[in-house]
Amino acid sequence: MTIQQITKTPMLTEEHEDLPTLLLCWQCGASLGTITSVPTTGSGLWTCHNCNVATECRNGLWISLAPQRVKHFSRFIADYEFIRAAEGRGSVDDDYYLGLPYKDLSGNNSDQWAIRACTFHYMERHVISPLGVLRKRPLRILDLGAGNCWMSYRLAQRGHSPVAVDLLINDQDGLGAAAHYSRHIRPLFPRVQAELDHLPFAPSSFDLTIFNASFHYSDDYERTFAEALRCTRSRGAVLIADTPWYADEKSGIKMVEEKHSLFATRYGFPSNSISSLQYLTPDRLQQLQTRFDVKWNIFKPYYGIRWSLRPLRAKLRKQRPPSQFRIYEARVGG
C-alpha cells in the first residue's frame, strides 16, 4: 500500500474542507496518513514515525485497537456475536445486506429493521439532506456502531463519504460483512475497528457523526460524546439515533434487569461483561447539554400505530413503560 506520511494533525477549517481524512496512531495519536478505501483482500502495516508502533490493515479493515483493549473487549465481543448469531443475524447472500434496512429477507428481525429504516429515512430528510445543502457538497460522515455497514452503504449510494467504525469485524454482522457491498460501491468506504472513546481520526474530520444504535454501549456518556464532538467540524452535527429513552431512571434500571435475566435464561449468561449505560433519560441528556454547552434538537419519528400503542398496552398490563426511540441532534458551534 502507498500512504502519504504526514507529520502534523491539522484541524479542518472551512477553507480546507478538501483535506483528506487522516488515520491516527492508536498508541500515540500521531498522524499515520490519509485513510483510504482498501480492497477486502488488502492487508499490510502502517508504522508510526513517532512511536514506531504498527497499525494493521487486515482484509481491508484498519485495526485501531490497542492489544490491552482487545483483551478488555474480548468477552463482550464473544457474547455479543453469540447472541446476534442466535437471533439469526447475517447471511451468506448479498441480497440480504443490499436490502437493509428496508427489507429483512431473513424474516428474523423484521420489526427491528423497520425501526432502523424509519429512523434512517427521517435522518436523511431532516438532517443529512439539509446539511448537504448547507455544505453544497457530499458529506463526510462517521458511522459509529456501523455493524454490518448497512448505513455506510446507503450513505455511499447517495454520494456521501462515510467511514464505518465498530468493535465487531466478523463477516456476518460486523465490518467484514461490507464485502457484500463491494461489487456495488467502488471503492468501498473505509472501515475501522475502534472504540467509541478512542477514535483514531484527526479533529474536525467529519461533517456529521452518527451514533448508529450504539451510544448506549458507552460506559461514560461524557467521555464518549466528547470524542464525537472532537471529530466533528464546525457547523456540523452529532446525532444519537436508536438509543432507548425512558422518562425516569427507575424504568431504565428495570429494563436492564429484565434483559440480563432474559439473556441468562436464554443464552446462559447475562451479557454484562462491560458496564454500558444502556439507555438515556431527560436527566442524562440535560447533563450532556450542560457539560458541553450544546442544545438538543429532538426529533420524534413516527414508527407506526403498533409502536405508538406500546405505552398504553404496558399500562393496561401493569408493566414498566416501554422504551421510546428519538433522534437527538447536537449542532457543533461555529
Residues ≥6 apart with Cβ < 8 Å to 176: 40, 59, 61, 169, 170
Going from the C-alpha of 215 to that of each of 3, 195, 227, 328, the distances in angstroms are 32, 11, 12, 11
Using the predicted structure, report yes or no on whether residue 42 has a pLDDT greater than 50. Answer: yes
Q: Percentage of the chain with pLDDT > 70?
A: 93
Using the predicted structure, report yes or no on whether residue 178 has a pLDDT greater than 90. Answer: yes
Alpha carbons 323 and 30: distance in angstroms, whole number: 41
> What's the pLDDT score for residue 333?
85
> What's the pLDDT score for residue 10?
40
Is-contact 241 123, C-beta < 8 A? yes
> What's the pLDDT score for residue 314?
97
Q: What value does the mean pLDDT take over residues 232-249?
A: 97
Q: In this structure, how many other beta carbons lie within 10 angstroms of the beta carbon of residue 55? A: 22
Give the DSSP letter string of 63-97: E---HHHHHHHHHHHHHHHHHHHHTT---SSHHHH
Alpha carbons 213 and 246: distance in angstroms, whole number: 15
Alpha carbons 110 and 115: distance in angstroms, whole number: 9
Q: What value does the mean pLDDT take over residues 123-150?
A: 97
Higher pLDDT, 329 or 20: 329
Alpha carbons 242 and 215: distance in angstroms, whole number: 9
Q: Which three cell numbers stand for residue 95?
A: 441480497
Alpha carbons 212 and 160: distance in angstroms, whole number: 16
Q: Which three cell numbers stand for residue 9?
A: 494533525
Q: What value does the mean pLDDT take over residues 103-110?
A: 96
Q: Is the model's pTM score more than 0.85? A: yes
